[in-house]
Amino acid sequence: MAPTVSTAHKDLLVVQNLKTYFPVRSGVFQRVSAWVKAVDDVSFTVREGETFGLVGESGCGKTTVSRSILRLIPTQGGSVFFDGQEVFRLRSQELKALRRHMQIVFQDPYSSLDPRMPVGDIIAESLLIHGVKNRSERNAAVQEMLAKVGLNPYHAHRYPHEFSGGQRQRIGIARALALNPRFIVCDEPVSALDVSIQSQILNLLKDLQREYGFSYLFVAHDLSVVEHISDRVGVMYLGKLVEMAPRESLFIEPLHPYTRALMSAIPVPDPRRRRERIVLKGEVPSPLNPPSGCRFHPRCPIAQEVCGKVEPAFTEKRPDHWVACHLV
């Protein structure tokens, strides 16, 4: 049912050695005393028409990755190429032109829509910003987008507070679609919704992808959601990508011990089947002061001496299956 796993597809988005650090300021003069390495040296690609899932627990930097790519927050290093253009080098006008092609759908459907603006205006505003001056043209586009996401034309006059969470998420998707983008960041688009609504939104996202052929960077912490929607999956831990593979190979044969622990936490709807649950010890260390060597080693069930000293390289251990671990 998914598009064939596809080295044939062209790379649309290339992220190279992305580093996003947040300064910690202290003292009277607000001097930078330390850096929180939220994203530290992350590289991956998103291919044309595919869905790249990014998973990891809270605070691992997956949302930061998505915001960095869109240049919504400043980065400390690395580069992002979108269709050959280097995003971090663009001047403001070029960046604005590029924003047409890269859009975002947010996690919280309550804060992602301006409460004082009718839904139609929210969707039309991005068109206005990108120079669609003709009002009736904008209105037509709004009607079309509302229909695409399964809302009614008369909803355009209503305010966000008149909608349910799922409906608001549809509005957020309509807003992202309005500019006809080629790449959409979905930042945990369903984690704030009821389970029954989640599947509706996921299917909507899939249908739209089939129709328009854009790529998704799908950020989530729910593995079953990621399995449902992704073509390839990246697993993050403490600001680093630890594993990246096509969905099938990742879910059938996870290589990194962290990914294995994550997989073992997926509940199986079969009361008779006992699963080997790998329970990680300890807490996630602070990204302010990450562990030496492999960042996962203090919690890793199979850690050896080398893991605390040498940082493992991110290498292709199987075809298209990348892992950062000494022991795989």
133 lines the binding site for another protein (CB under 8 A): no
Strand blocks (E) in the chain: 11-26, 31-47, 51-55, 77-82, 85-86, 102-105, 183-187, 215-220, 232-237, 240-246, 315-318, 321-323
| 116 versus 277: smaller Cβ distance to another protein | 116
CB of 181 to another protein, least distance (A): 10
List the one residue from 32, 34, 72, 288 that touches another protein (CB under 8 A): 72
CB of 104 to another protein, least distance (A): 5
87 lines the binding site for another protein (CB under 8 A): no
27 lines the binding site for another protein (CB under 8 A): no
List the one residue from 103, 215, 230, 259 that touches another protein (CB under 8 A): 103
User: Tell me, what amino acid is at 269?
Assistant: P
List the one residue from 34, 129, 252, 288 that touches another protein (CB under 8 A): 129
265 lines the binding site for another protein (CB under 8 A): no
List the one residue from 2, 90, 95, 328 that touches another protein (CB under 8 A): 95
How big is the site for another protein, counted in residues (CB under 8 A)? 38
The Cα-based distances of 145 to 104, 130, 148, 215, 270 in angstroms read: 15, 16, 5, 18, 41
156: its two tokens? 């355009």
| 90 versus 327: smaller Cβ distance to another protein | 90
83 lines the binding site for another protein (CB under 8 A): no
CB of 67 to another protein, least distance (A): 8
157 lines the binding site for another protein (CB under 8 A): yes
CB neighbours of 236 closer than 8 A, spacing ≥ 6? 42, 54, 55, 56, 60, 61, 62, 65, 242
111 lines the binding site for another protein (CB under 8 A): yes
Stretch near another protein under the rule CB under 8 A, chosen from 32-40, 67-75, 222-230, 286-294 = 67-75
CA-to-CA distance for 231 and 50, rounded, in angstroms? 6
70 lines the binding site for another protein (CB under 8 A): yes
> Rounded to the nearest 10 degrees, what angle do helices 165-177 and 119-129 cross at?
20
CA-to-CA distance for 285 and 47, rounded, in angstroms? 32
CA-to-CA distance for 99 and 82, rounded, in angstroms? 11
167 lines the binding site for another protein (CB under 8 A): yes
User: Tell me, what amino acid is at 23?
Assistant: P
CA-to-CA distance for 165 and 95, rounded, in angstroms? 31
114 lines the binding site for another protein (CB under 8 A): yes
Stretch near another protein under the rule CB under 8 A, chosen from 100-108, 138-146, 273-281, 282-290 = 100-108
67 lines the binding site for another protein (CB under 8 A): yes
| 89 versus 130: smaller Cβ distance to another protein | 130
135 lines the binding site for another protein (CB under 8 A): no
| Most distant CA atoms of the chain, gap in Å | 67
DSSP-assigned letters across all residues of 171-195: HHHHHHHTT--SEEEEESTTTTS-H
CA-to-CA distance for 175 and 152, rounded, in angstroms? 15
170 lines the binding site for another protein (CB under 8 A): no
Q: Which parts of this chain interact with another protein (CB under 8 A)? A: 67, 70, 72, 95-96, 99-100, 102-104, 106-108, 111-117, 125-126, 129-130, 154, 157-159, 162, 164, 166-167, 172, 175, 179, 194, 196-197
